[in-house]
Amino acid sequence: MIKEIAFTAYPAADVAKLRKWYEDTLGLKFSGPYVEEGVEKYNEANVGGGYFSVMTHEWIERDPGSASGVVFEVDDIDKTVADLRGKGVQIDDPYATPVCKIASFDDPEGNKVSLHQVTVPH
């Protein structure tokens, strides 16, 4: 029935501005905008085997700041947290679980983003 996750979409009031933030802050590489009437409505970045996208909140029918499901895998969460803090991102201290470390922050539109580092392969 379900084969894979096609993409995750985060709602944005200003897709171009939020996309630029993800490019500049997290280093994501977006494939190119879908534009209507001169306004960027959608864009996606390939991450591993899937896609992370930002989409106008009218299309996704969710308010900006209401998303909270994306968790990006990183190699070194402590270094990544330090790098993000250096860019002015207010991010929680990483916390450990029995199999990983996680830290979270909000993007400029208020959507929750988390970082994840596996500490015990499973």
* The pLDDT of residue 4: 85
* The pLDDT of residue 3: 85
Could you tell me which residues come within 8 angstroms of residue 53 by beta carbon, excluding any fewer than 6 positions away? 7, 8, 9, 10, 42, 43, 44, 45
Residue 3 in domain: no
CA 80 and chain centroid, separation? 14
Residue 1 in domain: no
Return the sign of the alpha-carbon dihedral for residues 56, 62, 67, 69: negative
Residue 60 in domain: yes
Measuring CA to CA, which residue among 72, 7, 77 is closest to residue 42?
7
Measuring CA to CA, which residue among 59, 76, 57 is closest to residue 67?
57
Q: In this structure, what CATH number is given to the domain that contains residue 79?
A: 3.10.180.10
Residue 2 in domain: no
* The pLDDT of residue 122: 76
The tally of domains found in the chain comes to: 1
* The pLDDT of residue 44: 97
Residue 20 in domain: yes
- Cα end-to-end span (Å), the chain: 24
pLDDT tens per residue across all 122 residues of the chain: 888 888 999 999 999 999 999 999 999 999 999 999 999 999 999 999 899 999 999 999 999 999 999 999 999 999 999 999 999 999 999 999 999 999 999 999 999 999 999 999 87
For 85, the domain range is 8-118
* The pLDDT of residue 29: 98
